Amino acid sequence: MKELELKRLLGQTQEIAKSVGAFIRKERQHFDVKNIEHKGFNDLVSYVDKEAERQIVEQLSVIFPEAGFITEEGTNTIRSEVYNWVIDPLDGTTNFVHGLPIFSVSIALMEREEVILGVVYEINLHECFYAIKGGGAFCNETPIKVSPAPDLSASLIATGFPYYNFELIDKYLAALKSLMQSTHGLRRFGSAAVDLAYVAAGRIEGFFEYNLNSYDVAAGSLIVQEAGGKVTDFLGEKDFVFGRQILATNSNIHEEFFLELNRIWSA
């Protein structure tokens, strides 16, 4: 895709994310927990997620009708051979339901197996993080870069706790134990898209999580890379969009972080 066309799509995608974010923010003001549905154990969804996704799909279909969709709520499941939008309409639904102020809209565009555009809009702080392939990373029009921290001992790490698939919980707890003793600390914000955006912005040095979906990480992974960070799966490979596990860092700590995580995960 030509750079000019990609920049046009980026600007329009940001506006879509912000407009849908405004809808979500308004609905939060009078949201009733009676409207919660359960897709599975601890896997929450509401009419807000579904309507937000419907709005996103409808608007993206207008600005780029050639593209297919990978969506969390299944609004549109028709995929294209070349271009596909990857959408999480409300990343952090549990936070939203409980009134905790970290949740986001995440929209990515993939060209075959490569993410070429990513937008993460953190709704509560009105922060729009975005990038296109080869164009650097930004937050609200200001360039962002990953932290210069040199090692794990100088790093703050984010993660996401397992909430329904507990088969690897012992390894996960072992990783937490190790990181508690070797870093500045651990944080659990509740939105993988925001976690990745915060790595890109240099607010945290690393993020890891398993059992994620493509729509959780596609946009944020590109933003991290364009901000100078490094993203792999737990094996050090590139299967982090669809491989259901991700390790994203400021690059400097990646090898050290990877070796420790791999030691625990392969045990």
Q: Is 72 assigned a ligand-binding role in the annotation?
A: yes
The tokens of 32 are what?
């009733």
Give Cα 13 to chain centroid, integer Å: 16
Radius of gyration of the chain (CA): 18
Rounded CA-CA distance 30/146 in Å is 37
Rounded CA-CA distance 193/196 in Å is 5
Q: Kindly report the backbone phi and psi dihedral angles of residue 211, in degrees, each rounded to the nearest multiple of 5, phi listed first.
A: 65, 35
Q: By C-alpha distance, which of 245, 259, 213 is closest to 73?
A: 213
Q: In what order do the strands lie in the sheet with 68-71?
A: 68-71, 83-91, 104-111, 114-122, 127-132, 137-139, 142-143
Dihedral sign, Cα of residue 263, residue 203, residue 249, residue 211: positive
Dihedral sign, Cα of residue 56, residue 59, residue 65, residue 66: negative
Q: Is 91 assigned a ligand-binding role in the annotation?
A: yes
Chain length of the chain: 267
Collapsing DSSP states into helix, strand and coil, what is residue 193? helix
Q: Is 90 assigned a ligand-binding role in the annotation?
A: yes
Q: Is 216 assigned a ligand-binding role in the annotation?
A: yes
* Range list of H helices, the chain: 3-28, 47-63, 93-98, 169-182, 192-200, 214-226, 254-265
Q: Is 176 assigned a ligand-binding role in the annotation?
A: no
Q: Please state the residue numbers annotated as binding site for Mg(2+).
A: 72, 88, 90-91, 216
Q: Please state the residue numbers annotated as binding site.
A: 72, 88, 90-91, 216
